[in-house]
Structure 1
Amino acid sequence: MRLDKFLKVSRLIKRRTVANEACDAGRVLVNDKPAKASVKVKQGDIIEIQFGTRTVKVEVLDIKDTTKKEEAGDLFKYL
């Protein structure tokens, strides 16, 4: 699954366009490498997102095309 779509489906970032912009600005790392929005994400990948002064680091546990709001947290684990 594309990185920008995973960020939206997992609700780490609310909108896909915002996820795209964060990737283009170099604020998203996958396995410690700067990632474009088109990077394929798989289980076990470590995603690091920089929100201003705060950094969020998560591990991908599952990949689904769609998910309910309550189940979105099951797709990743905070590190």
Structure 2
Amino acid sequence: MRLDKYLKVSRLIKRRTVANEACDAGRVLVNDKPAKASVQVKTGDTIEIQFGSKNVKVEVLDVKETVKKEDVESMYKYL
């Protein structure tokens, strides 16, 4: 699954366009490398997102096309 879509589906970022812009600005790292929105995300990857002065680092546990709001926490684990 594309990185921008994963960020939206997992609700780490609310909108796909915002996720796309964050990737283009270099604020998203996958496995400690700057990532474009088209990077394929798979189980076991680590994603780090820079929100202003705050960093969020998660490990991908599951990749699903659609997820209910209650089940989102099963897609990733905070590091």
Normalised to the residue count of structure 1, the TM-score between the two structures is: 0.99
* 2:47 alignment counterpart: 47
* 1:9 alignment counterpart: 9
Alignment partners' CA distance in 2, 1:66 and 1:60: 15
Any residues of structure 2 matched to 1:58-69 within 5 Å, and which?
58-69=58-69
Structure 2 residue runs of 5 or longer lacking an equivalent are none
Partner of 1:67, secondary structure, is coil
Write out the 4+ residue segments of structure 1 that deviate beyond 2 Å after TM superposition.
none
Superposed CA deviations along residues 21-41 of structure 1, whole A, max 9, x for unmatched, are: 000000000000000000000
| Structure 1 residue 73 displacement after superposition | 1.2
AA partner of residue 54 (structure 2): R
Alignment partners' CA distance in 2, 1:61 and 1:9: 13
AA partner of residue 11 (structure 2): R
Could you say what the CA RMSD is over the residues aligned between the two structures, in angstroms?
A: 0.3
* 2:78 alignment counterpart: 78
Alignment partners' CA distance in 1, 2:27 and 2:50: 5
